[in-house]
Structure 1
Amino acid sequence: MTPSWDDLRVFLAVARQGSLSAAGTTLGLDPATAGRRVGRLEAALGTVLFLKSPQGYALTEAGERLMPHAAEAEQAMACAEDAVRGQGDRLAGAVRIGAPDGCANFLLPRVVTEIVAAHPALEVQVVALPRVFNLNRREADMAIGVSAPTAGRLTVQKIVDYRLVLAASRGFLAKAGPIRRLEDLRGQRLVGYIPEMIFDKELDYLGRLGVDRPQIASNSAAVQYQMVRAGAGLAVTHDFVLPGEPDLQWVLPEQFALDRSFFLIRHADDARVRRLARFAELLVAGMRREMARVREALTEASGSVDAGEGDRTGHAGEEPAV
């Protein structure tokens, strides 16, 4: 019996995810169906591909030997899908992006909307999670990261720079008292990441403010943002959230700002898939346009404050807040 592509597809998902249930979720199959597909493939090849244990499914030696050939078949099918669906410059099919939740919540919505408007047959899935994505397990077609990986068969492209800045709601600052220098943050309520759940070294920044643990914490940048909007305290947040939230004020702009970058991370083999390569181009260009818009908005806001709105935190004679 000749192995079918459908069975190889399930084999790859189980090998990457380590369980039938996780593979089934990825492929839209129930675990029992995924198990039957694996059994059918093993019968066709006349060998056992997985060893089952309480920890999940692990590849046998035969399974390990099959992996590169199955991955090659996967790439061939992706290229064939590109050829069949070819509509000139129009893209079609599904693309899944993994992104940190701050980027996914505040930067990607406008970018993805513009791409889909230009390519109506394209299905874009944005998976927003506060962790690093594993592209080798095909958790996503591509991922946006806050640092560049140094291992694995991956291609890495710098997308755009951004800044992490200190911000709080105007209501909170009205009650907090003057904040003229970093030392004035002592005794103020800070919002930040749960220290044990920081997933990237680039997000471990509270030490620069002289703080070991924030009083209010979340593993999600979006939750931290909502806490700050509610007046919970000060937080280090992305500069690109400020133009869309007039009640948030940039605090100590001359004394604290961290330069950071977003990187587009892709599996090296996907360079041959035209649909993914073209989508990556559109994504990078869109994010750069969006950040240029943010920069312009921040510059305009700074100019309006300089023109005479006054320093809302009460430090006369210092650089006004944005």
Structure 2
Amino acid sequence: MTSRAPSRRSILIAGAGLIGIGAAGCYRVSPVIDAGARTTPEITVTPRRRAALNTETALASAARQAAALASGSRTAVLSALAQMHTLHAGVLAQADPLAGQNADSDPVITPTPVASASAPLPQLLTDEKRAADQYVHDALAADTPGEALLWASLAVFASGASAAGAAPVRGDGEPVSLPVEDPTSARQVLLSRLNALVAGLEWGVGRLPATDSLRSIGTRRLDAVATQQARLRALLREASATPTPALPGYPMPATPSTPRSTRELWVSLELGVLSGHGRVVAAASGTERSTAITAMGDQAAQVTGYGSGMPAWPGWV
């Protein structure tokens, strides 16, 4: 009899709920706050937002054209990529891009029409990278936490765009307005997510056959995460903070495990770490924000490395 891995939400609620006792202002699963002061910017249609809407609309069109010229699995991946860019454009066009699930999705701005032309795949990927660079610049110039994470999320998605691997997915997260938070508090939550990931990796490695390639992947990942934990703990101590300790136990699937359930568990926990990096992006500024965006991109690549699709809004998981 095989077991089914618990959902990402159930794992992270259980872990973050216990860990969060010692971390002020802890989010539940994503960087969404249920209570407390929010930073709600005045709704304005900025040149930056207009430019991003044009970019996302153009990328959606280019991805559709590339899909029409592709074959096999690439067609599905590029079609999904077009859908995600269309989703981004819709959020950017509405009155408040940070309104979350209750947003009025009616567009208040429309994209500038672009000339229709064939879009070979290499050109599409070049345009994705160019968009990612611009979004990083936008994130560094953002004045509010939610805006910073909005642009960082778009940057990470575009930088990870590809015609290979798993197709990008809608996911559960979406941009919302965020409260101002101290970077130290955000890093405490990130550390808590890394602690939970270590527990999940150890759980899976200990139950997979020695000959299973996933076991080797988990073992290598444990070493990499241990390095991240050490660096993060050092940063917290430099800020005169006591690093969040690991819990004695985290909820895991019932044994026996399977490679599939183990992979699902690890992806869920890696997505939690991704949102932890997103939280740091929202809380930090200047060089620290730039470093956090880079880390966020590296973590997104870790998620897709398991064969999981990139979420439409990485960091808002």
Looking at secondary structure, tell me which structure has more strand per residue.
1
TM-score strictly above 0.5? no
Looking at secondary structure, tell me which structure has more helix per residue.
2
TM-score of the superposed pair, with normalisation by structure 1: 0.22
TM-score of the superposed pair, with normalisation by structure 2: 0.22
Q: Greater CA radius of gyration, 1 or 2? A: 1
